[in-house]
């Protein structure tokens, strides 16, 4: 009889790479396509094919882990970056109809704010001002 080992939540788990390629329906109930993360142009073709019948869930497009960390949080909220391929080309924009490289995205923030860190600091300062304004209005 084979021994069944116990697994713990911190144990490394190997995941079938094909599971990472799945594109889901807008409601997340079914897999409606797949993309291997190699070329963003292939994803666009797959999305076009899918959208002939139904809407994909852009928020869960595969390979979003290819988005560089410095572009994920604040930048991704300011300018949606849905996913990137292995070459640094990304599906971006409110409707996910544009393609930009990570360097082009970074250049935009460097040209406008001096750096991505300056943009993040600007957001932090604005948030602090907003919090202080809300507190002063509520009488705290």
Residue 49 resides in a domain: yes
Position 98 in a domain: yes
CA Rg, the chain, in Å?
Answer: 20
45 in a structural domain: yes
Asked whether residue 9 is assigned to any structural domain, the reply reads no
Asked, for residue 109, whether it belongs to a domain, the answer is: yes
Kindly report, residue by residue over 94-129, the tens digit of the pLDDT.
Answer: 988 999 999 999 999 999 999 999 999 999 999 999
Q: What is the pLDDT of residue 1?
A: 47
pLDDT at residue 5, rounded to an integer: 66
Question: Residue 34: pLDDT band by 50, 70, 90 thresholds?
Answer: very high
What's the pLDDT score for residue 77?
A: 87
Give the pLDDT of residue 140. 64
- pLDDT at position 137 is 87
**Predicted local confidence at residue 7, as pLDDT:** 65
Question: What secondary structure, in 3-state letters, does the chain show?
Answer: CCCCCCCCCCCCCCCCHHHHHEEEECCCCCEEEECCCCCHHHHHHHHHHHHCCCCECHHHCCCHHHCCHHHCCHHHHHCCEEEECCCCEEEECCCCCEEEEHHHHHHHHHHHHCCHHHHHHHHHHHHHHHHHHHHHHHCC
Q: Give the total number of structural domains in the chain.
A: 1
- Position 129 in a domain: no
In a domain, 138, yes or no: no
Residue 53's domain spans which residues?
A: 17-115
Q: pLDDT band at residue 139, thresholds of 50, 70 and 90?
A: confident
Contact between 64 and 23 (Cβ < 8 Å)? no
Each residue's pLDDT tens digit, 48-96: 999 999 999 999 999 999 999 999 989 988 999 999 999 999 999 998 8
Q: Which residue has the higher pLDDT, 9 or 119?
A: 119
Give domain status of residue 33, yes or no: yes
């Amino acid at each position: 009889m084979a021994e069944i080992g116990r697994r713990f939540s911190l144990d490394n788990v190997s995941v079938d790479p094909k599971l990472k390629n799945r594109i889901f329906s807008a409601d997340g109930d079914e897999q409606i396509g797949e993309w291997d993360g190699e070329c963003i142009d292939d994803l666009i073709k797959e999305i076009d094919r899918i959208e002939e019948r139904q809407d994909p869930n852009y928020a869960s497009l595969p390979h979003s882990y290819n988005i560089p960390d410095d572009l994920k949080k604040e930048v991704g909220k300011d300018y949606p970056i849905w996913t990137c391929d292995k070459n640094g080309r990304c599906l971006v924009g409110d409707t996910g109809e544009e393609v930009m490289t990570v360097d082009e995205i970074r250049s935009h923030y460097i040209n406008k704010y001096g750096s991505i860190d300056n943009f993040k600091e600007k957001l932090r300062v604005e948030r602090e001002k907003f919090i202080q304004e809300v507190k002063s209005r509520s009488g705290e």
